[in-house]
Amino acid sequence: MLLDKVRYGWRWLATAFSFFMFGVGGIVIPLIVVPILYCLPGGRIRREQRGQKFIHYSFGRFIWMMKFLGVLTYEVTDVERLKHAKLILANHPSLLDVVFLISLVPNANCIVKAALIRNPFMRGPIKAAGYIINDGDAEDVITAANEVFAKDQAMIVFPEGTRTEPSKLIRLKRGAANIAVRTMVDITPVLISCVPTTLTKQDRWYQIPDTPMHFRIRVKEKISIAPYINDLSATKGARALTQDLTTYFNNEAG
């Protein structure tokens, strides 16, 4: 129908505009925001706090804009559980997952791939917020995680390490469990779904679905790590926790 084609065309243009604005933000932040943060009084921790809050509000406005333009809709349940969360683990069905989570957590830190620091659109936000760079050294990541929790920041981790392949079982890497066990921090799991499936690793931004994306974000009760550290070595505890988390995410997300 003509009306359906018009609606699809509008959402395609709105999606293009949204990603264009995201790219503009990635340029503006290092050119304007980062220098301002460095000029304001306070040390590195205070600068990180300001950077994280700026990214938090920016991502919140970005999500609002996409909803206003008709690109997506969303619902969040039990968001209050994120207020005092330390280690937030989430499944990763879509490119927008991290944007949603940071928009919900004002003191969020993240582990990002080293390659992203060379991306001109991502370098600014990463630098401004003091996000952890994962260059492959697990010990450095654990040390950085301890520092993050000591600064009363929350850490968002996608334990799959990449976006979920649609219609396939979730497979978790051991890194997130290692962080939980070796820092002795309980886990706040978050389950994310996106219908229809879009913005996966195989999709390009312009391959939009026939209907608006609908995100459902469910913040679940904390998972205690005490059983994985009391009577087990760190290695065995992380292995057991990874297995249990894999079962948990597959059962809950399915």
Q: CA-CA distance, 62 to 56, in Å (whole number)?
A: 10
Fold of 2-253: Glycerol-3-phosphate (1)-acyltransferase (3.40.1130)
* Average pLDDT of the residues of the chain: 88
Dihedral of the CA atoms 21, 197, 77, 13 (nearest 10)? 30
Position 188, amino acid: T
Q: What is the pLDDT of residues 132-165, one digit of tens each?
A: 888 767 888 899 999 999 999 999 999 998 888 8
Report the pLDDT value the prediction gives residue 130, as an integer from 0 to 100. Answer: 81
Residues whose CB falls within 8 Å of the CB of residue 192, separated by 6 or more in sequence, listed in order: 90, 91, 92, 93, 94, 97, 100, 215, 216, 217, 218, 253
How much is the average pLDDT of 39-57? 86
Report the pLDDT value the prediction gives residue 186, as an integer from 0 to 100. Answer: 96
Q: Is the pLDDT of residue 28 over 90?
A: no
Report the pLDDT value the prediction gives residue 232, as an integer from 0 to 100. Answer: 65
Q: What is the pLDDT of residues 197-241, one digit of tens each?
A: 888 888 787 888 889 999 999 999 999 999 998 766 888 899 999
Q: Radius of gyration over alpha carbons of the chain, in Å?
A: 19
Report the pLDDT value the prediction gives residue 224, as an integer from 0 to 100. Answer: 94
Q: Based on the number of CB atoms within 10 Å of its own CB, is 157 exposed (0-12), middle (13-18) or buried (19 or more)?
A: buried
What pLDDT band is residue 5 in, cutting at 50, 70 and 90? confident
Q: Where are the alpha helices (DSSP H) in the chain?
A: 2-28, 34-39, 44-68, 97-104, 123-129, 138-150, 175-183, 234-253
Percentage helix, strand, coil for the chain under 3-state DSSP, each rounded to 5:
50, 15, 30
Report if pTM > 0.75.
yes
